[in-house]
Structure 1
Amino acid sequence: MARRRLWWRHLLSVLLAPATMTVFIPVSIGALTGLRAPDLGSVSGALLAVVGGLAIAFGMFMLTWTVVLFDRVGEGTLAIGSPVKLVVTGPYRHVRNPMMTGVFCIQIGAALAWASPWLLAWFAVFFTAVLIAIRAVEEPHLRRRFGEQYDEYRRHVPRWIPRVSAWEPSPTSDAPVRNGGGSAAKRG
């Protein structure tokens, strides 16, 4: 029964956060601004559609990967509840916010694919809000929740620009070592 409730929490988390920011709001913006399908007949239109499609695909990949890590390693969900364990494996060994990187890629990809200044403006507003929220809410929450373990992770893994080499927690660290890495938690 507990596992069943967890899947409902995952569904709510995905619908409330990533789907709202990458699908529902952009579709609403498109409807309100008369957004039309990209012009695939021109070289620039086709190029924008391809680059945008690649950015969306990469974003979906990152978003899916990080959601799976939250479930399997962090034992938590995205926006509803926090991970039980600090997630420092996979993409979290290179950058502290790969889930948001995925969302940003989806948003920029949509703006490019549809050559929409309105979708680009939505990305800029959302990006600014996330920058503020991560510093003011998420990072203090993670520090209180995980203490020195999070501090060590934060000292070694950048917030936005990925490290080239994956961070390996030191053997004396309190950070869990799993699958050659560990886990970077996000509140949601």
Structure 2
Amino acid sequence: MRRPAAAWGSGLFFALAPGTVAGLLPWALTGWRADVVLPMPVRLLGGVLVVLGLLVIVPAFVRFVAEGAGTPAPVAETEHLVVGGPYRFVRNPMYVAVVLAIVGQTLLLGSWALTWYAVVAGAAMVAFVKLYEEPRLAARFGAEYAEYRRAVPGWWPRFAPAPQDP
């Protein structure tokens, strides 16, 4: 896939997938109104988690275009396995970032609805990865993916990056 098409496709997918899961649905559940006003340090932590989620997910999407020559969308897959940038610390940085953003919103708004939504969304992401993504990547990239999987944890980021070429 050519990079301009990959960039457009990734931008569209960014708006549709994480934009819906971490933006539209939390707004639908809360109207961005606080259920309980939590102490300021807790709300500040929530804001930090939302920003951290964005600081992880945006570079992860860019990697799909620059390194993978494709998009994160299953209908426009990458040509190459993406293992650089945030993918050196955790195999699923986009999912981790989205859940971080939802948890951050939970702390900002003191919302039980968002707490449960974060749990359900996270479980759905894990199921999707286990049932679809991992088997698909193993079939497409074989030994390269197996080595990457051995070198980089799936959900809990490591503090030191994996080698650039696992």
TM over 0.5: same fold? yes
Give the structure-2-normalised TM-score.
Answer: 0.90
Q: Secondary structure at the match of 2:157?
A: coil
Amino acid at match of 1:23: G
Q: Distance in 2 between matches of 1:75 and 1:93?
A: 18
Q: Distance in 2 between matches of 1:143 and 1:106?
A: 29
Q: CA deviation at 1:100?
A: 1.2
Q: CA deviation at 1:182?
A: 4.2
User: Mapping of 1:141-160 within 5 angstroms?
Assistant: 141-160=136-155
Q: Which residue of 1 is the match for residue 33 of structure 2?
A: 35
Aligned pair partner of 1:51 in 30, 38, 45: 45
5+ long unaligned stretches in structure 2: none
**Alpha carbons 1:38, 1:113 under 8 Å: kept:** no
Q: Which residue of 1 is the match for residue 12 of structure 2?
A: 12
The yes-or-no answer on 1:110 pairing with 2:108 is no
Q: Distance in 1 between matches of 2:60 and 2:30?
A: 28
Q: How many residues align?
A: 164
Aligned pair partner of 2:96 in 94, 98, 101: 101
Give the structure-1-normalised TM-score.
Answer: 0.80
Q: 1:82 to 1:165 in 2, by over 3 A?
A: same
Moved over 6 A (4+): none
- CA-to-aligned-CA distance 1:25-57 (integer Å, 9 cap, x gap): 0111113xx833874xxxx43122201000000
5+ long unaligned stretches in structure 1: 169-180, 184-188
**Root-mean-square deviation (Å):** 2.0
- CA-to-aligned-CA distance 1:135-156 (integer Å, 9 cap, x gap): 1100000011101100111112
Q: CA deviation at 1:81?
A: 1.4
- Max Rg structure: 1
Identity of matched residues, %: 32
Amino acid at match of 1:157: V
**Alpha carbons 2:63, 2:82 under 8 Å: kept:** yes
Q: Distance in 2 between matches of 1:84 and 1:3?
A: 11
The yes-or-no answer on 1:70 pairing with 2:64 is yes
